[in-house]
Amino acid sequence: MAPATWLYNAWPDNYLYIRTPAEIYHRPERYKDEAEFWEKFLQHAPLPWEGCPDIGHAYWKQKR
């Protein structure tokens, strides 16, 4: 997670560096953190629909 966090902090508008932490947070079931990064991804990605199924699953797991 440390390299992904470093890249995100260095380039917070880069959609690839936003997507990586979202995918990493999914594995340990940290769905709130995952959803926060998917929200940022939707704002910055050239094809934001790529994050739509994943953000929905993250909210579903939180019962939101």
> pLDDT digits over 20-53, tens only?
999 999 989 899 999 999 999 989 988 877 777 8
| pLDDT computed for residue 64 by the predictor | 86
What local confidence, expressed as pLDDT, does residue 51 receive? 76
Copy the structure tokens of residue 35: 């959803």
**H helices then E strands: how many in the chain?**
4, 0
Three-class secondary structure assignment of the chain: CHHHHHHHHHCCCCHHHHHHHHHHHHCCCCHHHHHHHHHHHHHHCCCHHHHHHHHHHHHHHCCC
Provide the 10 A C-beta neighbour count for residue 20. 19
Q: What are the residue boundaries of the structural domains of the chain, listed by start?
A: 2-61
pLDDT band for position 10 (cuts 50, 70, 90):
very high
**Token pair listed for 8:** 């995100």
